[in-house]
Chains A and B, each alone.
Chain A
Amino acid sequence: MMTALLVMIGLALLLGIVLGYSALKFKVEGDPLVDKIDAILPQTQCGQCGFPGCKPYATAIAHGEADINQCPPGGEPGMRALADLLGVEPKPLNAECGTPKPKSVAVIVENLCIGCTLCIQACPVDAILGAAKQMHTVIASECTGCELCLPPCPVDCISMVPIPEKVDNWKWRYPVIEIKSLAV
């Protein structure tokens, strides 16, 4: 009886020490779940979800403060990936946050630009180049199409242009079988 108790207490102590030590030794800095969610989000940094960027939205999802259906640029596939990751039921996108649009880039009409730098300050990825009283221009390859530069522009010289289909971004289509109309 006594031996059994001692063995159990000894084991408890030993395992406790091991667990306590490994909790300190292998402590994970930051929240790995936030990073996993952030990796799925499209990094548009558009704020349509109601948070000031993708990382804050990811943090909010991880803490259960936001739903998974608030990201229009991620669209249906993004929402499904989040549902898969978090083990929750997929749900339709929240229309209040906006609707998915074709991927676009901002284009500045250069002869209207007055060089106010307001769009430069608004761009979350520093994709607009320019200086005060100098014409600005968008680095198209870095633009995420977040549309955050549109509201601050005092002369409305920025427009969103959908990316056209070219040979280098063309995709093979899903095979469809043509339906033939039969004579009745």
Chain B
Amino acid sequence: MSLFKFHGGVHPPEHKLKSTAAPIRSVTMPLRLVLPLRQHVGNVAKLMVAVGDHVLKGQLLAAPDGMISAAVHAPTSGTIAAIEERLIPHASGLPDLCITLNADGEDRWGDHQPLDYQAQEKSAVLDALRLAGVVGLGGATFPSHVKLRADDAHPVLTLIINGAECEPYITCDDLLMRERALEIVRGIEIMQYLLGAKHAIIGIEDNKPEAAAAMRLACSQNSISITVATVPTLYPGGGAKQLIKVLTGLEVPSGKLPTTIGVQCFNVATAYTVHRFIDHGEPVISRVVTVTGRVAQPGNYEVPLGMEIFDLVQAAGGTADDSNGLVMGGPMMGFNLPSGHVPVVKGTNCIIASAPALFAPQPPAMPCIRCARCAEVCPVNLQPQELYWFARADNFEKARSYDLFDCIECGCCSYVCPSRIPLVQYYRYAKSEILASDKARQAANVARERNELRLARIAREKEERAAKHAERAVGARAEAGGDAKQAAIAAAMARAEAQKAEIVPQNVTDLSPLVATEIKAIDARRGKVDDRD
């Protein structure tokens, strides 16, 4: 098939051979597993167990909360020892809620059944996948059931399976394809059925000929037609949008999903986990992790999720004396782990024991010389130098208008920068500031709405009270207008009048003229007062 080219890209040294010599090795089940509830993109999973509960292997520990969320399962049987905040493998180095599981050593499976996916509604199968904790294992950890849901508005014609694995050092997908090609193909078959895709293409970089051969062989044994395409090795050719461009020549529009051009992309390891769940009923409880760099036995290990990375590195023979830290992910996009005492999670594809000899400390950044080399290598056709100036000056709106959010943080720009400017760090900074201010704006809109509703409610209550008072006053007046009452009042008034008339003033005879005039004056005044009434 004819291939296309994406813009830019770099050729960093690969360092892959070190970890491909040996087959995938298993590790002994650790005594304690730590399972973060946040191992995926989206909402944090909801706890389903309590401290002290005994759980079986594969049992649901935390259920997905909402649509974009994924479940967490027990990688072995044992007892829940704690549910607390612990350090997780995250760039922030902050703790988050984790389940600690003490293994009982029996490794006893709970009830699990293969799923006859063709006999059921597709939505039921997808719901099952949601409960199986299937997420994108290429590193993005986006819940797969969301991407597998066929959308009538954007039907998926081409299913692309990403076996490019472009980042240096990482070889877990390579080994998985070499050793478990049939299983992967089976997973692709299921995915293709769920999406209703017309054809499937597996993209593998040409530095993995063994993997490509294994996949070709597996595809030829399968009834459905899957194309295996070897693509030229060029970082970041394993980025979803870059691989789509290379294989189909189509470009995913800015801010849109690949489904808008009829393509959906999954990692090979995700296809493998789909097969494990559908054909064996096993949820995602382990993954293949590359352990490389300055370790005694670099290679790929099938690791239960929740195993401490320090233990994993020990299983790989421990670190060399000059090792000064651990990197999770590759050298281009990975991050330094805050400590070795963090668990392996679904997104852990590679652990590199770093050393000054491997990754020389970054020399101090020099001023940008406007060479635009970063723009030449940017795989998404951005203007990294402009984005850098805007991010540096906190000019976030401008950075956004230059499509900052299309940046995939691949690190090509920093890699070629002759001034050694940590460009990606600036973009990450600008992105998180923009996201935080968007969130604050949303919260402000909610607060405004609530305040307006409250003011409206207060005004309405005031009006209602006024109306009620008016009504009551009218009611009282109407009652006062009753005939019997009116008559009684009139009678009482008449009686009072009569009584008044009967009163005869006393001591009014034989008055001195002085007293008589005084009384007259008083009567006159009283009359005036009465008149006023």
Contacts and interface: CB of A to CB of B under 8 A. Distances in A.
B92 to A, nearest CB: 4
B518 interface: no
B51 interface: no
A144 B428 CA distance: 27
A125 B451 contact: yes
**Most central of A44, A55, A172, A174 by chain B CB within 10 Å:** A172
Contacts of B17: none
A124 B94 contact: no
Given A144-B447, A166-B94, A175-B422, A126 B432 contact: no
B448 interface: yes
A172 B432 contact: yes
Interface in B398-434: 422, 425-426, 428-429, 431-433
Interface string A24-64: 00000000000000100111110000000111000000000
Nearest to B450: A125
A167 interface: yes
B96 interface: yes
Given A42-B440, A171-B433, A172-B429, A165 B94 contact: yes
Interface in B68-98: 88, 90-92, 94, 96
Given A144-B447, A172-B431, A175-B426, A126 B365 contact: no
Nearest to A53: B451
B425 A45 contact: no
Contact of A43 (B96, B425, B445, B453): B445
Contacts of B451: 43, 45, 53-55, 124-125
Contacts of B422: 175
Interface in B433-464: 433, 436, 440, 443-448, 450-451, 453-454
Looking at chain B's contact residues, the main secondary structure is helix
Nearest to A124: B451
Contacts of B425: 172, 175
Contacts of A170: 90, 92, 94, 432
Interface string A148-184: 0000000000000000011111111111010000000
A126 B94 contact: no
A177 B421 CA distance: 10
A66 interface: no
B447 A44 contact: yes
B448 A166 contact: no
**Most central of B91, B436, B454 by chain A CB within 10 Å:** B454
A172 to B, nearest CB: 4
Given A54-B448, A175-B429, A125 B454 contact: yes
Interface residues of B, number: 30
A171 B88 CA distance: 16
A71 B522 CA distance: 70
B96 A125 contact: no
Contacts of A171: 429, 432-433, 436
A84 to B, nearest CB: 10
B9 to A, nearest CB: 24
B38 interface: yes
B326 to A, nearest CB: 19
Nearest to A174: B429
A125 B88 contact: no
A42 B428 CA distance: 24
B364 interface: yes
B429 A173 contact: yes
B432 A45 contact: no
B429 A127 contact: no
Interface string B103-131: 00000000000000000000000000000
**Most central of B426, B431, B436, B450 by chain A CB within 10 Å:** B450
A167 B96 contact: yes
Interface in B356-414: 364-365
Given A42-B440, A175-B425, A175-B429, A167 B38 contact: yes
Contacts of B433: 171
Contacts of B365: 175, 177
B94 A38 contact: no
A142 B446 contact: yes
A175 B91 CA distance: 14
Interface string A1-17: 00000000000000000
A106 to B, nearest CB: 14
Contacts of A124: 451, 454
A16 to B, nearest CB: 40
A167 B94 contact: yes
A85 to B, nearest CB: 13
Nearest to A144: B447
Given A125-B447, A175-B422, 11 more contacts: A53-B451, A54-B448, A55-B448, A142-B447, A144-B443, A167-B38, A167-B88, A167-B94, A167-B96, A172-B91, A175-B426
- Top 8 closest A-B pairs, CB basis? A43-B444, A172-B428, A43-B447, A170-B92, A175-B425, A171-B432, A125-B450, A43-B448
8 contacts: A125-B447, A125-B451, A127-B450, A142-B450, A166-B94, A170-B90, A173-B429, A177-B365
Interface of A: 38, 41-45, 53-55, 124-127, 142, 144, 165-175, 177
